[in-house]
């Protein structure tokens, strides 16, 4: 019964923040999956599911095709999920221990279509003069990374040609900076998917206007955590 009341509380909060029929639909549709994946015994690697809201995962399943090439900032169960649905995955991770764990999972499952990159934060002697909301500053809001930058991490995608990727997932560190570098690398009619866009500063620096981009926002429960979140899917039209 404890989980039931937690879900009701989270649902009411989501409806107050994002009123509308789509939020209400997500509350009812994904109550079961949320309950299932909130089990402490579950893990992102064992379940092979992205750490995005369920409503976004539902849409993404319809977007992905076996001929696609996908890039992701931030790895884990999502990497296993993408690898089973697209032709090639390039994934960059900042955390060495998480990287080693995920690398072991990939090897154990004999997954061969993932290029997996470790790119850790670097010391930044100009950190105090920077703003985590500025895409050009390459820093994170997370206090665990005070004095460090994610410039190399965000720029890993620059090793590829422009308009190379069908899908780019931004669910790691310094997300405004990652979006900045993703813009030229996504194909026409391709997708940039940004998680936790309830943090408005992720998208505010960019002009995702209706002429060049289509946009869909998804709000709802998230696997493994007692919270609702917002995921935005952007499709490049030009």
Residue 29 class from Cβ within 10 Å (0-12 exposed, 13-18 middle, 19+ buried)?
A: middle
Range of the domain at 169: 2-236
Tell me the angle at which helices 21-29 and 54-63 cross, rounded to the nearest 10 degrees: 90
- Cα-flanking dihedrals φ and ψ of residue 182, to 5°? -75, -25
What does the pLDDT look like over 65-95, one tens digit per residue? 999 999 999 999 999 999 999 999 999 999 9
Q: Which is it for strands 165-170 and 186-195: parallel, antiparallel or unpaired?
A: parallel
What does the pLDDT look like over 15-31, one tens digit per residue? 999 998 999 999 999 99
Mean pLDDT, all residues of the chain: 94
pTM over 0.85: yes
**H or E segment at 88?**
strand 88-93
What does the pLDDT look like over 34-64, one tens digit per residue? 988 887 777 778 889 999 999 999 999 999 9
Q: How many CB atoms lie within 10 A of CB 198?
A: 17
Domain at 51, CATH number: 3.40.50.150
- Cα-flanking dihedrals φ and ψ of residue 205, to 5°? -70, -10
Residue entry with tokens 């994904």: 30
What does the pLDDT look like over 167-220, one tens digit per residue? 999 999 999 999 999 999 999 999 999 999 999 999 999 988 768 999 999 999
Token pair of 169, please? Answer: 């997932």
C-alpha 144/C-alpha 238 separation (Å) is: 38
Residues in the chain: 238
Total domain count, the chain: 1
């Amino acid at each position: 019964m404890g989980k039931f009341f937690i879900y009701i509380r989270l649902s009411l909060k989501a409806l107050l923040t994002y009123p509308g029929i789509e939020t209400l639909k997500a509350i009812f549709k994904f109550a079961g999956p949320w309950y299932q994946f909130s089990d402490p015994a579950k893990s992102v690697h064992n379940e092979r599911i992205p750490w995005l809201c369920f409503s976004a995962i539902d849409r993404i399943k319809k977007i992905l095709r076996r001929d696609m090439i996908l890039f992701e900032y931030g790895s884990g169960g999502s990497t296993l999920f993408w690898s089973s649905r697209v032709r090639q995955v390039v994934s960059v991770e900042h955390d060495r221990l998480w990287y080693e764990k995920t690398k072991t999972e990939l090897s154990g499952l004999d997954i061969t279509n993932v290029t997996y990159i470790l790119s850790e934060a670097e010391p930044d002697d100009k950190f105090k003069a920077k703003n985590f909301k500025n895409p050009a500053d390459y820093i994170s809001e997370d206090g665990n990374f005070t004095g460090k930058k994610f410039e190399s991490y965000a720029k890993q995608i620059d090793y590829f040609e422009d308009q190379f990727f069908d899908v780019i997932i931004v669910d790691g560190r310094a997300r405004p900076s990652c979006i900045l570098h993703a813009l030229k690398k996504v194909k026409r009619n391709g997708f940039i998917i940004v998680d936790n866009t309830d943090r408005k500063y992720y998208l505010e620096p960019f002009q995702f206007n209706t002429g060049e981009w289509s946009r869909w926002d998804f709000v709802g429960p998230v696997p493994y955590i007692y919270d609702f979140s917002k995921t935005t899917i952007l499709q490049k039209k030009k």
